[in-house]
Amino acid sequence: MNPFDFTGPQFLLFYIIFAGLVLSGLAFWRRRAELSPSTPRIDLSDPYLIAFLRGGEKEVLRVATVTLIDRGLLVRDGPQIKRAEDASPDSVRRPIERALLNKYARAGKVSWMFEDDGLSKACEQYAVTLQRARLIPDDYVYRARLVRLIIATFLLTGVGFTKVMIAIEAGRTNVGFLIVLIIASLVIAAAVSFPRLTESGREMIEDVQSLYRGLRNRASSMNAGGASPTNAGGAGVEPMMLAAVFGMGALAGSGSSYAEGLFRGHDKRRSNSCATDGDCGSSCSSSSSSSCSASSSSCSSGSSCGGGGCGGCGG
């Protein structure tokens, strides 16, 4: 049976199935190729690194801004932000924080930070680290993706436009829908081929959200202020990490609940915790306490959600 002999509707159905298989194969091939054989090791305590992994440069800027506001180094001034009177860029360690304090030495719009080359440069170190860990694509990965896309394009256009030509030669002109299907499948192929994260990166952010799900449960008890860049992992760092791992929306109900509104409308990207260019396979529900695998162990008292301990060993 030669599919090119199918009638129009038959071929459309065939093409939908064919394109589905090609796109599924493309996705599967990319995911398999981009999965590291061993689990990468990165600093899971660096909120800016995690923010970059989850949402790129803009997420780093959001998290850094909220952190600096909570520490009193940046202040909100209506729709603008500016450096506090007694704040100095030398009082912070991290390049991104220093760059933000420099940028907002005078009051300025929040949106400016997303267009600033200097701030962009301050985020480069995170990209380099994540590329080395193969969590975001490097040049090699991009080239491999391009090759896969070219092969998929060849298949999708080859089959589709062959039928278009046959139809036209037979005097049929109702090929518009098929052309639309071909274009749609090419668009999907491009989207499937170039997500922001590698497959390892997608899994890593899911894993990080799983490991830090306890933070989500405590959002309402987190106070603003005192957020510190130190590695103490103490209470002051929690809002930073919560925002980094789950997004500004996760700060709702905490002392930093102003955060989501601060960036609304200033950047076209949603600050939703799952906004990672469509590759957020984690789904926010994986970090909600209700989805925790409550242990059915007879002995892990209070240990629903992976971590209540054994409540005392005996007695």
Partner 1 sequence: MKDSRLETFLARIYVDQTARERFLADPRGEATKAGLTAQQVEDVVKIDRDGLELLAASLERKKHNRR
Partner 2 sequence: MAVRDRFGLGWRAKLALGILSNLDRIDIVEVIADDYFRASHRERRALRTLAAQTPVTLHGVSLGMASSVPVDTKRLDQIARLCDEVEPVSWSEHLAFVRGGGIEIGHLAAPPRSAATVSGAIANLRRAREIVGVSPQMENVATLIDPPGSDRDEATWVSQIIRDSESDLLLDLHNLHANSVNFNFDPIDYISHIPPEQISAIHLAGGKWIGRPNARRLLDDHLHDVPGPVYQLLEDVGARATPPLTVILERDGNFPPVEWLLEQLDLARRAVARGRARRSAAAA
Chain contacts with partner 1 (rule: CB under 8 A): 301-302, 304, 311, 315
Binders of partner 2 among residues 166 to 225 (CB under 8 A) are 203-204, 206-208, 210-215, 217-218
State the nearest-atom distance from the C-beta of 306 to partner 1, in Å: 15
- Cα-based angle 64, 122, 124 (whole degrees, multiple of 5): 115
290 belongs to the binding site for partner 2 (CB under 8 A): no
Choice from 118, 232, 253, 261 touching partner 2 (CB under 8 A):
232
Instruction: Write out the two tokens for 151.
Output: 């092969």
Choice from 19, 22, 188, 305 touching partner 2 (CB under 8 A):
305
State the nearest-atom distance from the C-beta of 311 to partner 1, in Å: 6
Whole-angstrom CA distances from 155 to 5, 19, 34, 181, 184 are 18, 9, 22, 13, 14
What one-letter code names the amino acid at 82?
K
Separation between Cα atoms, residue 248 and residue 277, nearest integer Å = 16
Q: Distance of alpha carbon 50 from its chain centroid, rounded?
A: 10
Q: Which of 302, 269, 274, 268 is nearest to 288 (CA)?
A: 274
Separation between Cα atoms, residue 129 and residue 214, nearest integer Å = 26
State the nearest-atom distance from the C-beta of 313 to partner 1, in Å: 12
Phi, psi (deg, nearest 5) at residue 264: -65, 130
288 belongs to the binding site for partner 2 (CB under 8 A): no
35 belongs to the binding site for partner 2 (CB under 8 A): no
State the nearest-atom distance from the C-beta of 314 to partner 1, in Å: 9
309 belongs to the binding site for partner 2 (CB under 8 A): yes
What one-letter code names the amino acid at 87?
A
State the nearest-atom distance from the C-beta of 28 to partner 2, in Å: 17
State the nearest-atom distance from the C-beta of 309 to partner 1, in Å: 11
DSSP classification of residue 255 = T
Phi, psi (deg, nearest 5) at residue 74: -115, 145
Choice from 153, 185, 273, 282 touching partner 2 (CB under 8 A):
282
Whole-angstrom CA distances from 22 to 27, 29, 41 are 9, 10, 33
State the nearest-atom distance from the C-beta of 80 to partner 2, in Å: 32
Of the candidate spans 82-90, 92-100, 237-245, 246-254, the one that interacts with partner 2 by CB under 8 A turns out to be 237-245
The footprint of partner 2 on this chain (CB under 8 A) covers a number of residues equal to 53
**61 touches 116 (CB < 8 A):** no
Question: Out of partner 1, partner 2, none, which partner does residue 174 contact, by CB within 5 to 8 A per kind?
Answer: none
Separation between Cα atoms, residue 156 and residue 299, nearest integer Å = 56
Residues that bind partner 2 (CB under 8 A): 38-41, 44-45, 203-204, 206-208, 210-215, 217-218, 231-235, 237-238, 241, 282, 286, 291-303, 305-315
